Amino acid sequence: MSVQRLPSTPQSTLRAALRSQWAKPLLFLICLGPTAWLLRGIWLDDLGANPAEFLIRATGDWTLRALCLVLAVTPLRVTLGMPELARLRRMLGLFTAFYACLHLVCYAWFDMGWDLPDITADIAKRPFILVGFAGGLLLTVLSATSFNAAIRWLGAKRWQALHRAVYAVAALALLHFFWMRAGKRNFAEVAVYAAILGSLLGWRLLRTYRARRTAQHQR
C-alpha cells in the first residue's frame, strides 16, 4: 500500500530550506555582500567625491539594517510559525556587531587618523559620537556572550536578561542616527528606521503584556 505525500506548501518548502545545512553558509555569504560591495567600490574608486565619508555612512547604515533584521527574527518566527528562523539569529547578531566595528574603524581611521587622545576627546565632546560608541560597546558585550559556553556560565535567566540590552542598543543606534542627520535636517531615513524599530519593539511589549495577563488569569 503506497503512502500518499501531502502537497508541499510555500511555508513547508521555506521551513525545509531553513533546516538545510546550506542555510547558514548562504546567510553568511549574503551578510558579507555589503562588505564585498564596499571593497569593490574601493578597488574601482567608485565611492563618490568623499570616499571616507561614504564608508563611514555606509557601514553605519548596514549596522542599522542588520539590527532591524536581528530584532525581526522573533516576531517573524512567532507570527509565521517558523521556529527554524531562530537558528539564524546568532549569525545575524554577530554580523550586526561586525558592521558596527567596521563603522567605528572607519571613523577612527578616516576621521581621526587613529589619534587616540583626539578620539577620546571627540567621544566626550560630541553627544552623538558618545551615544554611538556606547551602543557599540553594548553590541561587543552581547557578541562576546552569544555562544553556548556563555549561556552555561551565566545561566539561562541572567543570559536572557543581559541580552535584552539589544533594545537599548536599538535606541542608542537610532538616537545616534537622528543626531547625525539633525545637522542637515534630513529625517526621512530616520523616520523609516524609527517606524521599523518601534514596530518591532512594540510587538515585544504587547506580547509580554498579553503573557502577563494570561498568567494572572490562570492563577
Render pLDDT for 115-146 as a digit per residue (tens, 0 to 9).
999 999 999 999 999 999 999 999 999 999 99
Residue 13 domain-assigned? no
Residue 3 domain-assigned? no
Residue 2 domain-assigned? no
Residue 161 domain-assigned? yes
pLDDT band at 4 (very low <50, low <70, confident <90, very high): low
Full DSSP string of 147-197: SHHHHHHH-HHHHHHHHTTHHHHHHHHHHHHHHHHHTTT--HHHHHHHHHH
Total domains in the chain come to 1
**Non-local CB neighbours of 25 within 8 Å, separated by 6+ positions:** none
Q: Which domain holds residue 67?
A: 23-218
**Non-local CB neighbours of 58 within 8 Å, separated by 6+ positions:** 34, 38
Residue 17 domain-assigned? no
C-alpha cell at 144: 562576546
* Angle CA 186–166–77, to nearest 5: 100
pLDDT tens digits, one per residue of 141-171: 999 999 888 889 989 889 888 998 999 999 9
Residue 93 domain-assigned? yes
Residue 124 domain-assigned? yes
Residue 15 domain-assigned? no
Kindly tell me if the per-residue pLDDT of 5 is higher than 60: no
Largest CA distance in the chain: 79
pLDDT tens digits, one per residue of 16-28: 888 899 999 999 9
Whole-structure pTM over 0.95, yes or no?
Answer: no
**Non-local CB neighbours of 42 within 8 Å, separated by 6+ positions:** 51, 55
